[in-house]
Amino acid sequence: MDQSADAPTAGGTRFQLPVYGLFARSLAAGGRVDARYWFISTKGRFEEIGYEVTDAVLDTLRADLEFVHRSITSGQFPPKPGGRFDEMTTLLGREGMQRSWQALIAVPELAEFVAVHTAETEP
């Protein structure tokens, strides 16, 4: 999922840009604030992503951070296979990670965590 004003945390998985925007807004004395990344390499295709840091963006940031807080305080941070977690997948083996994830997605207490992160784990 891409980051945009409609999904400033990319579905609760990327927080740096909106957090920087929140900080910048605290210094802007009510002025408009935009948060942006500019990728300056061929790997990043020299793309720029970003958005205006609005109240709606901050509401999403707060809601998604509340989810992270609930997950951590309840001890819910299971490993997920593939994607950004390739080192863990290499360590445990892709099949081992897939088995672990499949077992975890059935745990009722992890339903919210699974809903946020399932799209990242699809092959």
The percent of residues above 70 in pLDDT, for the chain, comes to 82
Distance, in Å, from the CA atom of 93 to the CA atom of 15, rounded to the nearest integer, reads: 28
DSSP classification of residue 52: E
Q: 54-67 burial string, b = 16+ CB within 10 Å, else e?
A: eeebeebbeebeeb
Token pair in block for residue 19 = 């957090």
Quick one: which of 110, 75, 80 has its CA closest to 13?
A: 80
The number of helix segments (H) and strand segments (E) in the chain equals: 5, 2
Name the residue ranges covered by the structural domains of the chain: 1-64, 74-123
Q: What is the pLDDT of residues 88-102, one digit of tens each?
A: 667 777 787 788 788
**pLDDT string in tens for the chain (123-residue length):** 588 888 899 888 889 999 999 999 999 888 899 999 999 999 989 999 999 999 999 999 999 999 888 888 877 766 555 566 566 667 777 787 788 788 878 888 888 878 877 765 454
Instruction: Provide the pLDDT for residue 4.
Output: 86
Count of beta carbons in the 10 Å neighbourhood of residue 112 = 14
Q: Are 24 and 73 in contact (CB under 8 A)?
A: no
Token pair in block for residue 62 = 């707060």
